[in-house]
Amino acid sequence: MATHTHGLGCRLLRSGVPAPSGRHVLGRVAFLDHHSAPAIHAGVAGVGVHLAKDENDLVTEVWETDSPVTSGMYQDLAYAHDGDYLFCAGQVAGTGSYREPVRHAYRAAFDLIAKLDYPNVLRIWHFINDINRANADGLEIYRDFCLGRAEAVDGLPGRAGDMPAATGIGSLGGGISWYLLASRTGRVRNLENPRQVPAPSYPHRYGPRPPKFARATSFTPDGLDGAGDLFVAGTASILGHRTVHAGDVEKQCDVTFGNMATVIGRENLLANGIDDSRTLKDLRFVKVYVRHEEDVPVVAAKCEEAFSDTAEIAYFTVDICRSDLLVEIEGIAP
Ligand code: 3EB
């Protein structure tokens, strides 16, 4: 992604039909006004995530690579790989309890990762319908999801349980849609944020098992130095483990920007042994999740100021994993 003409590349498109780029499509994630199951269409692995209110709001994220890909289905997962990178997408149908099916889906993905030999997981996204509602047992669905994920990760051997940057956010339908990227080679370093308690160490008040993800993941291809591509996890107005500025979306944006800047900034990279630095202006492929539609204009104005003019930014109106969070933002700093 360092140049976007070699290695793993991303495109964020306003329409459903991407113009050909001459590269190979590793995976396609369509953010639609409905969900569609993981599948292979014309050889391309993809999934449809229900994240748009209507058809004027569609966005497609395309992952591209240098070499021809082989795609297929494994259990209910759609995947593609090219010898360097793996894309894998799944959907867990809506249910009264996600714990068991999420554990199962995660195990299937990690089986596939092992079988195809892409041991470095770079980034995971999860889109969870009714994320703040109670499941059949009265447990909040996000906490139910976290329980299944934590149990799946518990059993993984060696480094496989080291979870990368992730997003866990609401969606408008379709149970849980999710996808991940992994690599065969290169160096993966998961980063924490000194301003925030690591999510896996959140106290019990946030659920029976904590969220398992890192604040950012640095992926440096073989032969290169520095931070490589920095995948910044979904980031919100959390300091320590507490939400700050409940009810104030502008202040929540400022804390979120501060958290993102800190995790990719020089000091944090150096503390992780990476002699490199990034700022908010380096972020590309930014996804902004806003709880209330009426807050989108003010959040967009803040984001346009914080991020580069050339950053691709997509806005979605969805619920966020804590009821008091009004905004969450992710991005990639190549
Ligand atoms: C947080 O910092 C906000 O469950 O995978 C952000 C990114 C959040 C990923 C996840 C949750 C997840 O705790 C929520």
Residue with the bigger pLDDT between 266 and 157: it is 266
92 lines ligand 1 (CB under 6 A): no
Active-site residue flag, 328: yes
Tens-digit pLDDT profile for residues 181-191: 999 999 999 99
321 lines ligand 1 (CB under 6 A): yes
Which pLDDT value is given to residue 43? 95
Mean pLDDT of the chain: 95
Which pLDDT value is given to residue 83? 96
Region 63-71: what's the mean pLDDT?
95
pLDDT grade for 15, boundaries at 50, 70 and 90: confident
Helix/strand/coil for 13 = strand
236 lines ligand 1 (CB under 6 A): yes
Q: How far is the CA of 41 from the centre of ligand 1 (A)?
A: 31
pLDDT for residue 19 is more than 80: no
Domain ranges of the chain: 9-333
Rounded distance between C-alpha atoms, residue 333 and residue 24, angstroms: 22
Looking at ligand 1, which residue's alpha carbon is closest to its atom 5?
A: 168
Q: How far is the CA of 211 from the centre of ligand 1 (A)?
A: 7
Which pLDDT value is given to residue 2? 47
pLDDT for residue 4 is more than 60: no
Looking at ligand 1, which residue's alpha carbon is closest to its atom 11?
A: 168
Which residue type, as a one-letter code, is found at position 111?
Answer: D
Region 231-250: what's the mean pLDDT?
98
Q: Please say whether the dihedral angle defined by the alpha carbons of residues 30, 36, 38 and 44, taken in this order, is positive or negative.
A: negative
Q: How far is the CA of 223 from the centre of ligand 1 (A)?
A: 32
234 lines ligand 1 (CB under 6 A): yes
Contact 107, 173 (CB under 8 A): no
Q: How far is the CA of 17 from the centre of ligand 1 (A)?
A: 30
Q: Please say whether the dihedral angle defined by the alpha carbons of residues 39, 44, 46 and 48, taken in this order, is positive or negative.
A: negative
Tens-digit pLDDT profile for residues 108-147: 999 999 999 999 999 999 999 999 999 999 999 999 999 9
CATH superfamily placement of domain 9-333: RutC-like (3.30.1330.40)
- Look up the ipTM and state it: 0.96
